[in-house]
């Protein structure tokens, strides 16, 4: 006897990350404006990292007011809800 797996239909969740303003400067300069090299991580899923879908933006150099204009797409099960988290990060040196 063959078993047929039951799959929950997936839908597409679209998230647009536009910009951040007045982020904390992480690069301190003696002369000139203090800046940062931020990027953003968009995570959808449970609070634990296991099974979460994560998308990372490009790094925007030397700014505390980055603009990404980035569209993210996540596959989600129809009729469920989850946790969406957007976290600005500083790029490693």
What's the CATH number where 74 sits?
A: 2.60.40.150
In a domain, 65, yes or no: yes
Higher pLDDT, residue 75 or 84 = 75
What integer best gives the mean pLDDT of the chain?
A: 81
In a domain, 49, yes or no: yes
| Domain count along the chain | 1
Q: Which position has the token pair 């400067």?
A: 25
In a domain, 39, yes or no: yes
Q: Which domain holds residue 53?
A: 21-90
- Report the pLDDT value the prediction gives residue 49, as an integer from 0 to 100: 59
Q: Which position has the token pair 């490693």?
A: 92
pTM of the predicted structure, to 2 decimals: 0.73
| Among candidate residues 14, 12, 15, the one with its CA nearest the CA of residue 77 | 12
pLDDT of 23-74, one tens digit each? 988 888 888 888 999 999 888 876 555 677 888 999 999 999 999 999 998 8
- Report the pLDDT value the prediction gives residue 32, as an integer from 0 to 100: 83
Q: Is the pLDDT of residue 2 over 70?
A: no
User: What would the two tokens of residue 55 be?
Assistant: 């998308």
| Cα 66 from Cα 13, distance rounded (Å) | 24
In a domain, 68, yes or no: yes
| Cα 2 from Cα 72, distance rounded (Å) | 38
Q: Which position has the token pair 């790094």?
A: 59
């Amino acid at each position: 006897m063959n078993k047929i797996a039951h799959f929950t239909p997936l839908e597409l969740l679209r998230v647009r990350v536009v910009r951040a303003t007045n982020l904390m400067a992480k690069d301190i300069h003696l002369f000139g404006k203090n800046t940062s090299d931020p990027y953003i991580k968009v995570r959808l899923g449970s609070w634990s990292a296991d099974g979460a879908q994560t998308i990372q933006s490009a790094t925007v150099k030397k700014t505390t007011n980055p603009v990404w204009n980035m569209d993210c797409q996540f596959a989600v099960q129809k009729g469920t809800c989850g946790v969406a988290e957007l976290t600005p990060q500083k790029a490693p040196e």
